Amino acid sequence: MTSAAEHPALAAIRGRLVVSCQAYPGEPMRDPDTMCRVARAVAAGGAAGIRAQGLEDLRRIRAALDLPLIGLWKDGDGDVFITPTLDHALAVAATGVDIVAVDGTRRPRPDGRTLAETVKAVHDRTGRLVMADVSTYEEGIAAAEAGADVVGTTLSGYTAYSRPGPGPDLELVAGLARDLPVPVIAEGRVHTAEQAAAAVEAGAYAVVVGTAITHPTTITRWFADRVTRPGA
């Protein structure tokens, strides 16, 4: 593990739960004050860190909570939408987050920069850590080589070439945790406490859970689909 593992924001989430607090465009909870309240609510339940999206959400959450904050900015309708450019990353860093999450795949970025150039510029200009959201083992290896401080399995199942599955990609978590010199965060489709525990068992440095804790529309649909009788 590199020295980044000793960074206080990383040390504070080691072996613990980070909760992603996000609402999507057009949804009733897409509102910075609401997301800030959700973040405070999950903090009260024991979240060791928060992951959130959007500059105003990040500013509000930063002001309200002293927990490690992973920030991103989803923008654009291209393939690369998680903090897609360096300018996005710098804006996220300026909100006061501890860790800037960026697309960590090898797909072309809208500003033409490589991941390595992006990571270096964030480090040099802001001193923040960078989390690379990847979808495959090869991308995880490349992201660590590009200088990412943390690698997340966030995009597994969300690129055209990665394996979609109903649950978390624990095989990817285990492979990257075994081979990377940087912390690996299990993120994506962790829907139960058992799966979260299994991710830690697989070697995850920390586990990020979003939908299953903070997205009531999806959670409701899970229940409604099981309860509603055919033809009802």
Q: Could you give the angle at the alpha carbon of 52 between the alpha carbons of 47 and 58, nearest 5°?
A: 110
Indicate the residue among 6 and 29 with the shorter CB distance to ligand LRY.
29
What is the chain's Cα-based Rg? 17
Residue 30 CA to residue 173 CA, distance in Å, equals 30
Least Å distance, CB 188 to ligand LRY, is 5
CB of 21 to ligand LRY, least distance (A): 9
Sites of contact with ligand LRY (CB under 6 A):
20, 22, 72, 154-155, 158, 187-190, 208-212
Q: For ligand LRY, give the closer residue by CB, 148 or 231.
A: 148
The separation between the first and the last C-alpha atoms of the chain, rounded to the nearest angstrom, is 54
In angstroms, give the least distance from the CB of 53 to ligand LRY.
6
Amino acid present at 67: L
Phi, psi angles (nearest 5°) of residue 160: -60, -25
Residue closest to ligand LRY when measured from CB atoms = 210
- Closest to ligand LRY by CB, 147 or 188: 188
Compare residues 118 and 154 and give the one whose CB is closer to ligand LRY.
Answer: 154
Phi and psi, residue 47, nearest 5°: -60, 135
CB of 2 to ligand LRY, least distance (A): 23
The owner of tokens 């924001």 is: 9
